[in-house]
Structure 1
Amino acid sequence: METDRRHRRYLLTLVGVFLLIWGALAINPLNRHDWLLENLLVLGLAAALLLGHKHYVPSRSAGTLIFLYLCIHQLGAHYTYANVPYDDWWQALTGESLNEQMGWDRNQFDRLAHFSYGLLLAFPIREVLIRLGLRPGIWSLVLPVDIVLSTSAVYELIEWLGAEMLDGGLGRTFLATQNDRWDPQKDMALATVGAIIAMLVTAFAVRPRRDL
């Protein structure tokens, strides 16, 4: 019972810290309309966790991973993904341009966010599948990767439809392709690579316990 209380206290602490971060980043975002659109994802995830809390309460690991991903997403929502000033922050810290050092000619924060989607959420997805009755085994490692890839594809379709329905400026901001015609494919690929890495780490971590 004490363990359950500590666990719930930890998750509530994560929720409280996230709400503080969300509130701070909700102040004067670069584009309020884009911020509202991006926060539909947060609203959907929060609704799913609240509606399903009787059947699924994230473990500490899963809760922490979800928290980290949502923080990355909120940073992108505040600045718009194509304008997160990470290169300015890096120059202030080191005196060098990260983009120049890496040979990048575009803002790469959206790539980080898509990679993080797979890397940070594949484990919570696996945990949900196991709670729903999927036996630990090879499919518990394959299906999260499949779900990350398929949901990434659905999100890219939503972005495309949203950009078509919105006016030109807001549509381009929401789509955030930065004139890269292969942007959707690269985003999906990065999310999938992140999920594969997460599942390989999970397989290595649980094998000693014979709970693959």
Structure 2
Amino acid sequence: MDDSLPSSHRFPFGLAGTYLILWAVLAINPVMRDVWWAENLPVLGVFGLLAATYPKFRFSNLAYTLMAVWMILHTIGGHYTFANVPFDFVTDFFGFERNHFDRLGHFSIGFYAFPIAEFLTRKKLAKPAVVYLFSLFAIMALAAGYEIIEWWYAALAGGEAGIEFLGSQGDIWDAQKDMLADTLGAVTALLIFRFTKRKSDEDTPPA
């Protein structure tokens, strides 16, 4: 890595570079190219937004790491389709009847509650209680919105592409379980935010 790059920027730049390499590899011969586009457009949108706003607002390394988890999982799901990601070792170990890789992906969406809370806190836009509630509700609203998008795409695309993008695998409660996974991920992220913020406050010497 270029030694002229400030050390504070090396982690996010390295993380971004690593992800782009992974994305390029997984862009080669995906299982279904139309599903790959549908799954990757949101990821590219988030990546582009973070890159564009980086000069104005830099999140913590932990926030970037949590956001990268969803990008990586979603990119893998886009390559294989979520229902067909090689995840048999987990399915067989726990005796599941379906591939739960998509649940893991939804859980990781909840991690974005962390950067939301971090942004609101550092910009001093809300009091702590509002920060936590807004971050949680924002993820819950996003989860519901994404389930609607999945429904629209499945209805419009139809056929195998629609089924693979929907990824319900025959579970009539799939949408509800996905939203629950998003919410649990958000709760987990906010607990991490609370713990790290408290530790940061304790380590900061009094003025």
| Same-fold status (TM-score > 0.5) | yes
Q: Which amino acid aligns with 2:173?
A: W
Tell me the residue number matched to 1:202.
193
Q: CA deviation at 1:9?
A: 2.0
Could you say if the C-alpha distance between residues 5 and 65 of structure 1 is closer, same or farther in structure 2, counting changes exceeding 3 Å? Answer: same
Superposed CA deviations along residues 184-207 of structure 1, whole A, max 9, x for unmatched, are 110001110111122123223323
Tell me the residue number matched to 1:113.
105
- Number of residue pairs matched by the alignment: 199
- Residue pairs, 1:171-210, within 5 angstroms: 171-208=162-199, 209=201
Tell me the residue number matched to 2:71.
70
Q: CA deviation at 1:164?
A: 1.0
TM-score (norm 1): 0.86
Q: Which amino acid aligns with 1:192?
A: T
Between the aligned partners of 2:171 and 2:45, the Cα distance in structure 1 is 28
TM-score (norm 2): 0.88
Between the aligned partners of 1:153 and 1:198, the Cα distance in structure 2 is 18
Give me the CA root mean square deviation. 2.1
Q: CA deviation at 1:129?
A: 2.3
Gaps of 5+ in 2: none
Superposed CA deviations along residues 23-55 of structure 1, whole A, max 9, x for unmatched, are 111111111111111011112112322333343
Tell me the residue number matched to 2:91.
99
Tell me the residue number matched to 1:167.
158
- Provide the secondary structure at the position in 2 that maps to 1:18: helix
Q: CA deviation at 1:132?
A: 4.2
Tell me the residue number matched to 1:80.
81
- Provide the secondary structure at the position in 1 that maps to 2:6: helix
Equivalent residues of 1:56, 1:131 under 8 A apart = no
Q: CA deviation at 1:104?
A: 0.9
Between the aligned partners of 1:73 and 1:39, the Cα distance in structure 2 is 7
Between the aligned partners of 1:51 and 1:5, the Cα distance in structure 2 is 19
Gaps of 5+ in 1: 91-97
Equivalent residues of 1:141, 1:203 under 8 A apart = no
